[in-house]
Amino acid sequence: MSTHSPSDHAHAGATRGIDYASYLRLDELLALQTLQSTPAHPDELLFIVVHQASELWFKVLRHEMDTMITALEQFDAMRALLAIQRINVLTEIIAQQLTALDTLPPQRFAQFRAYLGASSGSQSAQFRAIEATAGLRDAHFMAAIAEHGDPPAEVAAALARPVLQDLALALLAHEGVTLESLYLGPGPTPMFLLIEGLLEFEQRFARWRFLHVQLVERIIGPGTFGTGGTLGAKYLARTVAQRFFPALWAVRSEFYGKH
Ligand code: HEM
């Protein structure tokens, strides 16, 4: 639990001469968009900012996922519920940001793509840490990580932790309920909302994957290799089917038998 009370925050800092620009470190922040193209391409600023903003939101998302994991480990269902609600809003924001790049015509991206060198979103350590924290462990995912040598520290740390699905199931066991009983029981409970919240997270994350693969097809075409050397859209399309929480999807089939 937080040890801060509202009154602790009320007056702190008021006398320290902090204003909007210094608090947010705006001078530094707004100096970080270094265009590589020469002459400067008018669309490269948008390209850089969508990536940088995504990485900032990844940072917040990872922070909230840590909060979620702590809450689950402490069997604190209500705090976990609050955390998953925020995680889901953040995931939606991150996905929607991609649509800004739908306005980048392919011939204009081609004018500055060569300046990106070998940089590719597939080298995003934060993105991989999010996937690992959520629960990916399949061969395709592990291969994507191994491609860049030893995993970065945040990815290695996430891989060493229990996956979200196991933590959620442990909480259910602690509460004396099963996944099946949540869907057959008398009505929505906090535990049911928590499990549905996790499913919502998976759905929204897959929406990011889909918006991204469509963006890639729209801008570089379905058959073009990525700057990271993959088969581009074809490689990415396969990731849309990856699942963090297979048990949460499987429980639904149980109500309809198996054919
Ligand atoms: C013009 C827009 C974009 C294009 C053409 C594009 C293209 C690609 C391609 C082709 C890949 C596959 C790996 C490779 O061979 O490079 C990829 C992966 C990736 N991109 Fe993008 N991308 C774009 C925008 C973004 C943005 C805005 C983000 C936000 C951070 C992003 C994040 C990622 C991530 C995380 C991966 C790894 C996905 C995975 O392996 O599942 N991309 N991108």
- Ligand 1, atom 37: closest residue by C-alpha: 122
Q: What is the pLDDT of residues 116-155, one digit of tens each?
A: 999 999 999 999 999 999 999 998 899 989 888 899 999 9
- Is residue 17 pLDDT above 80, yes or no? yes
Q: Is 239 in the pocket of ligand 1 (CB under 6 A)?
A: yes
In degrees and rounded to multiples of 5, residue 161 shows phi and psi of -95, 160
pLDDT of residue 258: 61
Check pocket membership of 230 for ligand 1, CB cut-off 6 A.
yes
SS (H, E, C) the chain: CCCCCHHHHHCCCCCCCCCHHHHCCHHHHCCCCCCCCCCCCCCHHHHHHHHHHHHHHHHHHHHHHHHHHHHHHCCCHHHHHHHHHHHHHHHHHHHHHHHHHHHCCHHHHHHHHHHHCCCCHHHCHHHHHHHHHHCCCCHHHHHHHHCCCCCCHHHHHHHCCCCHHHHHHHHHHHHCCCHHHHHHCCCCCHHHHHHHHHHHHHHHHHHHHHHHHHHHHHHHCCCCCCCCCCCCHHHHHHHCCCCCCHHHHHHHHHHHCCC
CA of 155 to the centre of ligand 1 (A): 18
Average pLDDT of the chain, as a whole number = 93
From 125, 119, 95, 94, select the one nearest 44 (Cα to Cα): 119
Model confidence pLDDT, tens digit, residues 243-255? 999 999 999 988 8
CATH numbers and ranges of domains, the chain: 36-254 (1.20.58.480)
- At residue 9, the pLDDT reads 60
**Distance, CA of 132 to CA of 124 (rounded, Å):** 12
Provide mean pLDDT across the span 44-60. Answer: 98
* Residue recorded with tokens 């009154």: 7
pLDDT band at residue 215 using 50, 70 and 90 as cut-offs:
very high
- pLDDT given at position 7: 60
Distance 162 CA to ligand 1 centre (A): 27
Q: Is the CB of 91 under 6 A from ligand 1?
A: no
Q: Which of 89, 85, 88, 67 is nearest to 76 (CA)?
A: 67
CA of 219 to the centre of ligand 1 (A): 11
Q: Which atom of ligand 1 has the smallest separation from the CA of 209?
A: 41
Alpha carbons 85 and 80: distance in angstroms, whole number: 9
Residue 238 Cα, ligand 1 centroid: separation in angstroms? 14
C-alpha of residue 236 to centroid of ligand 1, in Å:
8
In Å, what is the CA distance from 123 to each residue of 10, 13, 24, 206, 225? 41, 38, 27, 19, 15
Q: How far is the CA of 91 from the centre of ligand 1 (A)?
A: 16
Who's near 176: CB < 8 A, 6+ residues apart? none
**pLDDT value of residue 248:** 96
pLDDT at 220: 96
- 38 vs 35, 46, 77, 103, 106, CA distance in Å? 8, 16, 53, 21, 18
**Closest atom of ligand 1 to CA, residue 55:** 30
Q: pTM for this structure?
A: 0.94
Is the pLDDT assigned to residue 4 strictly greater than 80? Answer: no
228 lines ligand 1 (CB under 6 A): yes
Q: Is the CB of 211 under 6 A from ligand 1?
A: no
Residue 74 C-alpha to ligand 1 middle, in angstroms? 36
